[in-house]
Amino acid sequence: MPVYSEKVMDHFQNPRNVGEIENADGVGELGNPTCGDIMKIYIKVKDDKIEDVKFKTFGCGAAIATSSMVTELVKGKTLEEAEKISNEAVAEALDGLPPVKMHCSNLAADALHLAIEDYKARKEGKGPIGRVETPEHDEDEHDLLEQA
Amino acid sequence: MKIINFDHFAATKMRQEVKDAMEPYFISEYGNPQSIHTLGDEPREALSKARLQAAELLNASSNEVIFTGSGSESNNLAIKGTAFARMDKGRHIIVSKIEHFSVLNAVKSLAKLGFEFSEVPVDKYGTVDPQEVKNALRKDTVLVSIGQASNEIGTIQDIKEISKVVHENSAAYMHTDANTSCGFTETDVKDLGVDMLSAAPHRFYGPKGTGLFYLKKGIRIMPLIDGGIQEFGRRAGTENVPAIAGAGVACELAKKELKSRTSHLLPIQKAIKDGVLNSLDEVYLNGHPEKRLPNNLNFVVKYIEGESMLMWLNNNGIMVASGSACTSKILKSSHVLNAIGVDAALAQGSLLISLGEDNTLEDAEYFVKELPAVVKKLREMSPLYEEVMKRNKK
């Protein structure tokens, strides 16, 4: 049984919307290199709609696939619609992720929301927000095993 | 597509001779080796033969060899078995920072029961300084457990010198985890001077489901599984006769072929090492440049993450491992890389290669040819690489 679903593998191998938008209206960069994932999402906004979206991700298969999926889900959507997309919805659209990946590498929707926040902050003259560090996983492996 | 196994630390293909040796004990000679009646005769003989084969590989006596269920079990037996048997002498254990989890988690479990442990550091190559072990010794130290070679970075320790220091300066027992090294380097227990040694036949073309444990005559441990008198009362439970018979043959082959295996592996290891370091920027080799196992290489590839590298290589038919947080299942990057001073963010780009007898120079060439494209693809989508590129432009 493969670790990842076919959809995850498809998005990992053929990631949609990889790259960078020059003069993006909003950028959401989220993660922590120590944990292994950094996602950066760029958006171009027109009439409150996400006209274009691109990403760059440093991370595992799940991190790349969720980044790719979230860009596909929100392209052309209104900001309001995009804000409603959750990390869980992204995972679901990929036919699920292995449990261990659910909380560590499933941050693409958060990164997107951060990009929208950044867009709004810039409009109010308060941006850009810059990279937001997610906390490290501090569980001791031994304790983790005991909980399991 | 051809499958290239560069992850032999996870699994080696059993040798046909091993399988053949196991075959009779599944159905035709299914008896219990402890039976006094005829059904026990052949299985008893098989056990005795395997014990001798294992003893010869380790330069031990037959009655010093115990078959367990795995390499991890052997490590647990050494550590907890000693701790429980010697509580009257002391409750302090010494390990190194780069031990396998079956050692580190065993001492952590003991710590919850009131035992204490010290982790000696390693240098940037992952070498344990015997002097550091000496410094860590206390009056109540009952055991020192240092692995013969790291299962991640392949660095080989001077176990002989460490054993000497331990025995000259304390009454502690000396155990070495040879689960990674046995079959690929000399594991002569008399030469090493150890009291206990763990080995894992499935790492050297034997079956899964059995481990080797050397227990020097006169060394006192408490069994972890109580019951009958199997394995000299040190490990109760009906013996896994087929696996043990197979393990015996794997040991015999390892002894006979150690030299030829090494001379087969070294050029492949060198081709990969040189090829990777020459064809890629910002890639580093971890572990000792010379004092390392002939079948292991550990690289850090900057700005990308190990699991995605592993998955792309997998697409190309190349099976590797990584010490990145994402591949660890516990979301923590390798404690071994951390101990040798590799920054946690860099450790994410860990690439772990372990070779075996089925690998060829052509495999090495293919890998060296395929890796740069994988790295390029992942770096192109890495925000860390983007940052560095922008910084370099300025």
In angstroms, rounded to a whole number, what is the distance separating the alpha carbons of residues B131 and B166? 10
Distance (Å, whole) CA A111 – CA B53? 59
Residue B305 has pLDDT above 60, yes or no: yes
Instruction: Indicate whether A143 pLDDT > 80.
Output: no
Contact B331 A57 (CB under 8 A): no
Query: Given a cut of 60, is residue B336 above it in pLDDT?
Result: yes
CB of B322 closer than 8 Å to CB of B351:
yes
From chain B, pick out residues whose CB is under 8 angstroms from the CB of A139.
330-331
A35: closest CA of chain B, how far (Å): 6
Instruction: Report the pLDDT value the prediction gives residue B277, as an integer from 0 to 100.
Output: 97
For the ranges A104-108, B48-52, B341-345, B387-391, the lowest mean pLDDT is seen at A104-108
Q: Which of B329, B380, B383 is opposite residue A29, by nearest beta carbon?
A: B383
How far is the alpha carbon of B100 from chain A, nearest alpha carbon, in Å?
A: 13
pLDDT, average across residues B230-258: 97
Query: How is A20-43 classified by DSSP, letter by letter?
Result: --TT-SEEEEEEETTTTEEEEEEE
Contact A36 B348 (CB under 8 A): yes
Quick: pLDDT tens for B179-223: 999 999 999 999 999 999 999 999 999 999 999 999 999 999 999
The mean predicted confidence, pLDDT, of chain A is 89
What is the fold of A6-147?
Answer: Sufe protein. Chain: A (3.90.1010)
Which residue, chain included where needed, has tokens 């790291």? B150
Domain ranges of chain A: 6-147
The CATH class that applies to domain B16-254 reads alpha beta
> Is A42 touching B (CB cutoff 8 A)?
no
Decide if pLDDT at A33 tops 80.
no
Nearest CA in chain B to A55: B381
Query: From A41, which residue of chain B is nearest by alpha-carbon distance?
Result: B383
Q: pLDDT class for B6, splitting at 50, 70, 90?
A: very high
pLDDT 10s digits, B143-170: 999 999 999 999 999 999 999 999 999 9
CA distance B24 to chain A (A): 31
Catalytic-residue membership of A60: no
Q: Which of A102-116, B265-279, B319-333 has the lowest mean pLDDT?
A: B319-333
Q: Using DSSP, state whether A128 is helix, strand or coil.
A: coil
First to last CA, chain B: 44
Omega before residue A128 within 30° of 0, cis: yes
Rounded CA-CA distance B238/A86 in Å is: 52
**Percentage, residues of chain B above pLDDT 70:** 98
10 Å Cβ neighbour count for A136? 13
For residue A35, indicate whether it is catalytic.
yes
For residue B27, report the phi and psi dihedrals to the nearest 5 degrees: -120, -55
Residue B292: strand, helix, or coil? strand
**Contact indicator for A53, A71 with CB cutoff of 8 Å:** yes
Residue A142 in this model has a pLDDT that exceeds 60:
no
| pLDDT, position A148 | 45
pLDDT category at A106 given cuts 50, 70, 90 is confident
Residues 114-143 of A with CB under 8 A from B: 137, 139, 141-142
Mean pLDDT of the region B311-336:
84
> A64-86 b/e with 16+ CB inside 10 Å = b?
bbbbbbbbebbbebebeebeebe
Give the model confidence (pLDDT) of B61-100 as tens digits.
Answer: 999 999 999 999 999 999 999 999 999 999 999 999 999 9
Q: Select from B109, B326, B386 the Cβ nearest to the Cβ of A60.
A: B326
Helix (H, G, I), strand (E, B) or coil at B28: coil
Residue found under tokens 């690439």: B351
Consecutive H or E run containing B65 = strand B65-68
Compute the C-alpha angle A24/A25/A30, nearest 5°: 75
How confident is the model over B9-37, as pLDDT tens digits? 999 999 999 999 999 999 999 999 999 99
**Conformation bin of residue B279: beta by default, left when phi > 0, alpha when psi is -120 to 50:** alpha
Average pLDDT of span A37-53: 95
Q: Is A65 on the interface with B (CB under 8 A)?
A: no
Q: Is the CB of B105 less than 8 angstroms away from the CB of A141?
A: yes
Search chain B and give the residue with CA nearest A33. B345
Token pair 């073309």 in the structure block, residue: B205
Q: What is the pLDDT of residues B349-359, one digit of tens each?
A: 999 999 999 99
Cβ neighbours of A29 in B, within 8 Å: 383
Q: With cut-offs at 50, 70 and 90, classify the pLDDT of residue A75.
A: very high
Share of chain B above pLDDT 90, in %: 92
Residue B65 — φ and ψ, nearest 5°? -110, 125
- For A120-124, which contacts have Cβ atoms below 8 Å and span 24 or more sequence positions? A120/A26, A122/A25, A122/A26
Give the confidence band of A131 by pLDDT, cuts at 50, 70, 90: confident
Domain-wise residue ranges, chain B: 4-9+258-393, 16-254
Q: What CATH number is given for B4-9+258-393 in this structure? A: 3.90.1150.10
Please choose, from the candidates B310, B342, B384, the residue with its C-alpha nearest in 3D space to the C-alpha of residue A31: B384
Interface A-B, measured as beta-carbon pairs within 8 A, has a size of 93
User: Mean pLDDT across chain B, nearest whole number?
Assistant: 96
* Chosen from B348, B386, B388, B393 to mutate, greatest number of chain A CBs within 10 A: B348
Mean pLDDT of A41-57: 97
Locate the chain B residue with the closest alpha carbon to A54: B381
CB spacing of B381 vs A57 below 8 angstroms: yes
If you average pLDDT over residues A21-44, what whole number do you get?
Answer: 90
- For residue B332, what is the DSSP state? -
Chain B residues whose CB is inside 8 A of the A63 CB are: 305, 308, 326
CA B311/CA B321 separation, integer angstroms = 10
Q: Which of A56, A58, A141 to mutate to test the interface with B (most CBs of B within 10 A)?
A: A58
Catalytic residue among B319, B326, B384, B388: B326
A70 residue type, one letter: V
CA distances from B226 to B115, B152, B173, B231, B235 (A): 22, 33, 22, 11, 7
* CA distances for B294 relative to B151, B310, B357, B388, angstroms: 12, 22, 11, 35
